[in-house]
Amino acid sequence: MDQKQQIIGYFIEEAREHMETIERGLLSLQAFCDDSEQMNELFRAAHSVKGGANMLGFKAVGHVAHRMEDCFKILKESPVKVDRQIEDLFLKGFDGLQELLGSIGSGSEEQNEQASQRLEPVFQQLQAYLDKLSGQGPRLPEDFNTQVMGVLREVLGLFKQADGPATRQKLQAYCDRLAQIGAASEQWVNLVQTAKGAIGNPQANFKILAPLVITELKEAAQKGVMGKAAEIQPSANLQKLGGAVAKAAAPAAATPTAAPATPAAPPAAAAPSANEVVIPKDPKGAAQVLVKTFDRKQLTELAQILVKVIKG
């Protein structure tokens, strides 16, 4: 047995002990909630499974353990009266985590990731219910920003591929995943759905979409972890692209198309006219739009105007 397999074996053995602790706690959850030391023990058990899994690259196991840790943290900080719904949801999450641990060495990481995503609604429901009972407002997962940045790296890679229906469908699937990650925040979900609508608009090209979507989602994720989720909202440019939008670079008006089939997307703002362009916040993206829209003479004139504005 090589050293890595030996380390994995140690992790699995230790994880089983932690899972026994968690199972014992879940079967007497109200008693554990009434004892701060026992509640800390439950929290530490989930934390240890998460840490060991992440260290060895078992991301799906680490994610599910982290979600369970988040829920234990709510109970630790704001004890509630445990009812049947809390018990059932915790046990569903526990069973899922146990299955993931059992699949180490047999199932592929992709299969484990899919299993992890299937468990996400369970933890979202549990966390929302615990927040409601404890009097707390909706809160995003502690690793919210980490999860979002991981997905955005995949999104950026897709934006670098050739534009086409298949690529846009994949991008929209990632939007669904981003919405799921931050489902506790209505504002975040609204932003993601707006981005999904923009991506579904074939008249919005990737050169405009990529910097706009990536920048707004990154900035919103930062607001989320800073406790400013209520301030998250899509820009006017993103809302315009989320509806029937003429190509930003088109010299003449294009025939508008129907808005993409995104039920949760907010109503689109009025589409820009043929003489208008949508400028991304990102300077590089803005420059790309301007270069594509204007000829050399117009760009020179624009540059002179900008210089005067800056100096003035």
Residue 256 confidence (pLDDT)? 39
Tokens describing residue 91? 């046990």
To the nearest 10 degrees (0 to 180), the angle between helices 3-27 and 84-102 is: 170
Task: Report helix, strand or coil for 106.
Answer: coil
- For the stretch 151-199, pLDDT in tens is 999 999 999 999 999 999 999 999 999 998 888 788 899 999 999 999 9
Q: What is the pLDDT of residue 265?
A: 40
Instruction: Give the residue with greater pLDDT, 281 vs 166.
Output: 166
Give residue 247's pLDDT.
35
Q: pLDDT tier at 135 (50, 70, 90 boundaries)?
A: confident
Across all residues in the chain, what is the average pLDDT?
82
Instruction: Quick: pLDDT tens for 41-96.
Output: 999 999 999 999 999 989 899 999 999 999 999 898 887 899 999 999 999 999 99
Helix (H, G, I), strand (E, B) or coil at 118: helix
H or E element that contains 50 = helix 36-55
What's the pLDDT score for residue 152?
94
- 194, 266 Cβ separation under 8 angstroms: yes
Compute the distance between CA of residue 214 and CA of residue 212 in angstroms, rounded to an integer: 6
CA-based nearest residue to 179, from 140, 130, 230, 128: 140
What tens digit of pLDDT does each residue of 211-235 get? 999 999 999 998 887 777 778 999 9
Tokens linked to 148: 């979002």
Calculate what percentage of the chain has a pLDDT beyond 90. Answer: 46
Residues in the chain: 312
Tokens found for residue 105: 């060495």
Q: Which of 44-58, 96-110, 231-245 has the lowest mean pLDDT?
A: 231-245
Distance in angstroms (rounded) separating the CA atoms of residues 195 and 288: 20
pLDDT, greater one: 262 or 58: 58
For position 253, what pLDDT does the model report? 34
Tens-place pLDDT, residues 21-48? 999 999 999 999 999 999 999 999 999 9
Half-sphere exposure of 15 (CA within 13 A, CB side): 25
Phi, psi of 260 (to 5 degrees): -60, 155
Cβ pair 33, 82 in contact under 8 A: yes
This prediction has a pTM of 0.53
Residue 143: what pLDDT?
A: 80
Confidence band, pLDDT 50/70/90 cuts, at residue 15: very high
Q: 86 CB contacts (<8 Å, ≥6 apart)?
A: 29, 80, 126, 129, 130, 133
What stretches of 84-227 show up as alpha helix (H) in DSSP?
84-102, 109-134, 144-159, 165-181, 186-199, 206-225
Q: Is the pLDDT of residue 263 over 60?
A: no
Q: Is the pLDDT of residue 270 over 70?
A: no
Residue 183 backbone dihedrals phi, psi, to 5 degrees:
-60, -20
pLDDT of 259 reads 40
Asked if 135 and 85 count as a contact pair (C-beta separation under 8 A), the reply is no
Q: Give the 3-state secondary structure of residue 1.
A: coil
The candidate with the shortest Cα–Cα distance to 126, out of 159, 97, 154, is: 97
